[in-house]
Structure 1
Amino acid sequence: MTEPQLNPAILAEIARHPGVTLAGSIYAVAEADRPVTAEHLGRAGLWIHADVIMNDLAHRGVDLSLVRSLSERGIGPLDVHVIAPELDVLIDEICAQKVDRVTFPFESCPSLDAVADTAERIRSSGAAAWLAVAPGTELAEIRPCFETIDGLLVMLIEPGSTGAADPTLAARAGQTGPDLPAGVDGGVDAANLGACLDAGASYVVSGRALFSSSSPPPDADTPGRACSAPPVAPKGT
């Protein structure tokens, strides 16, 4: 494939907000196009966001072999977003790849202690540990974790669901305090990006909206789709 054309409206909006980091979600393009897309993101100075999904003990999403190849070749920075109901096996596999950041879902952790333990395991591998929070989880449940994580990723759409992003959820990114960076992910496009940045997001993940001329993967043909893993139930349900 030819190199993807990055959406100029998104790039221009990011440029108007110094200090904001943009990441391209390579799960948003067809599997065969992901290596070239990742290389292009790296050359453009953007982060590479890779959704690694496990469902019923089967890997889906971005294959770990691609993560390993990018890491070994020094292509990055790499942010691996783990989407799975159980984290232990995947966290160990991903940490072994020596990536820059591992993002894991709060909803897959059985307790606050488990969040802290997972974050420490990630940091011991040399990666930063970010926590993702789904729309159905109250931010108040996450606050006790702020001291044990390196950043918070606010999902604007339930992982595994379809529909449009809810940019009002981006307000959570401005509620972590000055010492904890926060980002947004899920259906971010040129239309809602400004609201996300105004809300305080310093890290933005964009998929198909960023790759304006790339082909979507065959299992993600619905606008606003975040990933194909089953939704993770909010805590307390």
Structure 2
Amino acid sequence: MVKIGASILSADFSNLKEELKKAEEAGVDFFHVDMMDGHFVPNISMGIGIAKHVKKLTSLPVEVHLMVENVDLFINEFKDMDYISFHIEAVRFPFRIINKIKEIGAKPIVALNPATPLDAIEYILDEVHGVLVMTVEPGFAGQKFIPIMAKKIRKLKSMIVEGGHEVEIYVDGGINTKTAPIAVKAGADNIIAASAIFGKGNINEAVKALRESIEKKYLDDEINRII
């Protein structure tokens, strides 16, 4: 079954505990915490303390997405996290980063910006838990899904299957009831949504709508044309 990750980027931080609780009750599978340094991406969000706070407030897995230049400086701060995503564009020595993440007990996920080709991660697929395909330019919530990324997801799925790699595909960026089925039909195992969950007023109905859209992915002719 496809897993849904709730990105807290669009959550109400003044009422975070209640927001997380509602998302849990709605049936999300994990929480996604973006950490931006204002250098790798043109924005700053959520320090180390927020991620640790989220981990204390939930029993669900927590994934930290490091959108930072100096990845190795932050890894040891997230020893309690379940997954740590890092951008291949930000590191010179990915095997070193992957091993460091594993050493603290987390599972490594390598992330790619929209324009980054898949051959950039070809030789580390056997070393990571997952690949996070960004379907918007990272740094801001509420952006529109880039349609050509569906082909990138599909190509990545083929690489994984043909190579016999045990790797999960995560998709983040512009995910909603229109784009979630596109991502899933292309090959996504996990979808991450921010405003489509926390920006809809009723979190339970928002998550339900996402799940229903995924289940109907084979019925939409428009999706078939894109994929």
Same fold (TM over 0.5): yes
Structure 1 CA distance for aligned equivalents of residues 111 and 49 of structure 2: 23
Q: Structure 1 length as normaliser, TM-score?
A: 0.72
Change (3 A) 1:41 1:120: farther
Aligned length: 191
Change (3 A) 1:30 1:71: closer
**Match 2:173 to one of 186, 196, 200:** 186
Structure with a larger share of its residues in helix: 2
Per-residue CA distance 1:184-215 (angstroms, 9 max, x = gap): 0011111111111100100100110122118x
Per-residue CA distance 1:17-65 (angstroms, 9 max, x = gap): xx211001001224323333223333435210000122369x9322322
Name whichever of 120-129 and 67-76 sits farther off.
67-76
Change (3 A) 1:65 1:75: farther
Alpha-carbon RMSD across the aligned residues, in angstroms, is 2.4
The residue that corresponds to 1:199 in the other structure is 186
Give the deviation of 1:163 after TM superposition: 4.5
- 1:148 maps to 2:127: yes
Kindly indicate whether structure 1 or structure 2 has the higher relative contact order, using CA contacts under 8 Å at least 6 residues apart: 1
Structure 2 CA distance for aligned equivalents of residues 64 and 40 of structure 1: 23
Give runs of aligned pairs for residues 84-123 of structure 1, distance below 5 A. 84-94=68-78, 96=79, 98-110=80-92, 114-123=93-102
**Match 1:165 to one of 145, 150, 166:** 145
Give runs of aligned pairs for residues 52-131 of structure 1, distance below 5 A. 52-55=35-38, 60-94=44-78, 96=79, 98-110=80-92, 114-131=93-110
Displaced runs of 4 or more, over 4 A: none
Aligned letter for 2:34? D
Per-residue CA distance 1:150-174 (angstroms, 9 max, x = gap): 1100000111268421133133332
Aligned letter for 2:193? S
2:12–2:19 Cα contact (<8 Å) kept: no
Q: Structure 2 length as normaliser, TM-score?
A: 0.75
1:35–1:66 Cα contact (<8 Å) kept: no
- 1:42 maps to 2:24: yes
Identity value in percent: 21
Structure 1 CA distance for aligned equivalents of residues 19 and 53 of structure 2: 13
Runs of 5+ consecutive residues of structure 2 not aligned to the other structure:
203-227
Runs of 5+ consecutive residues of structure 1 not aligned to the other structure:
1-18, 215-237
Structure 1 CA distance for aligned equivalents of residues 15 and 152 of structure 2: 33
